[in-house]
Copies of this chain bind each other. A is one copy, B any other.
Amino acid sequence: MTPEFGLIANYFSRPVRVALLGGGDDCALLPPTALATAVSTDTLVSGVHFFHDVSPESLGHKVLAVSLSDLAAMGARPRAFTLALTLPSIDEQWLERFSSGLYAIADDYQIELVGGDTTRGPLSITVTVMGEVDAMLALRRDGAKPLDDIWVSGSIGGAALALHAINTNQVALAQMVVERMERPIPRVALGQRLKGLASAAIDVSDGLIADLGHIAERSSLGALVHWPLVPIHAELVAQEQAVQVACALAGGDDYELCFTAAPEFRETIAALARPLGISLARIGQMSADHGQVCVLDGEGNAMRLASAGFDHFSHRET
């Protein structure tokens, strides 16, 4: 590390609370827990996962939010994270703003930064989160059963609509929905409440159909989704159907939870949504047709879908 880069540590050094030892040693030390440790790593690359000109606060928020969302999708309680920050140069104002966004969401979810690495290079950020969860109750992807209900939290397609609006220079629309893209809300409390109820869960990062496909694939099942039941983002309603479908089914970056549960839990699940202030929608059922993820329109006809999942930020020319 150059001495210059050593200064960066100033923006990321707070006294530790949960950790026995934080940054500044060869390793951080976390106290033992009786539960399993849930671990996930995500990288955001400039120009691929975010625009070069995104606000540093939003970037600090998002880089931790997407990893917290993985803990949420496992039903795990957040404990600690590491931050690997690769920067082309040192911009103290940028670091100040980035760290304030990062610490704000870290405090909201009571997760502690315990160390990391700072290097020189093209801007990219890798976060590794650690949480704890009873392994017997963890929300895996492979536990869905035929005829389980398929649920999704909140609304879908807002993040993709924001990207679409930016790419098509719809400035007013972009302003209305950009928050959904830049400041996703990880459903951590919901994930923890779903333990013992959901048979499988995933967070919607690649797109609803792609992610539901991961549950189907890992559970050796198929899935049937009713398009009119998909809770599309309010600003999507006014868009033409092609945009609705592209954003809500093939778009990504929503970080809502998609999960499956036996029909007997319908009322219990509906009841837990209200106190959390999160809407939950039942959008279909799992089927025994391995590999088939099918979406039916309002008339009960199968809809044709373009391939799901794409590189979100490769379209805008800058």
Contact = CB atoms under 8 A, between A and B. Distances in A.
Nearest to A21: B140
Interface in A149-168: none
A30 B131 CA distance: 10
B135 A49 contact: no
A128 interface: yes
A246 interface: no
Contacts of A49: 119
Contacts of A262: none
Contacts of A114: 39
A21 to B, nearest CB: 7
Contacts of A21: 135, 138, 140
Interface stretch (A174-182, A270-278, A282-290, A305-313): A305-313
A133 B3 contact: no
Given A36-B31, A84-B126, A124-B124, A74 B25 contact: yes
A80 B39 contact: yes
A247 B128 CA distance: 34
Q: How large is the interface on A (under 10, 10 to 19, 20 to 34, 35 or more residues)?
A: 35 or more
A121 B26 contact: no
A45 interface: yes
A136 to B, nearest CB: 10
Given A28-B38, A31-B135, A309-B2, A120 B84 contact: no
Given A27-B70, A27-B71, A30-B37, 20 more contacts: A24-B141, A25-B74, A25-B140, A26-B202, A28-B39, A29-B38, A29-B39, A29-B135, A29-B138, A30-B39, A32-B34, A41-B82, A41-B83, A41-B115, A43-B119, A43-B126, A47-B121, A48-B119, A48-B121, A120-B311
25 contacts: A1-B206, A2-B310, A2-B311, A3-B307, A21-B138, A21-B140, A24-B141, A27-B38, A27-B39, A28-B38, A29-B37, A29-B39, A29-B135, A40-B82, A41-B83, A43-B117, A44-B119, A45-B122, A46-B121, A49-B119, A84-B126, A119-B124, A124-B124, A126-B126, A130-B130
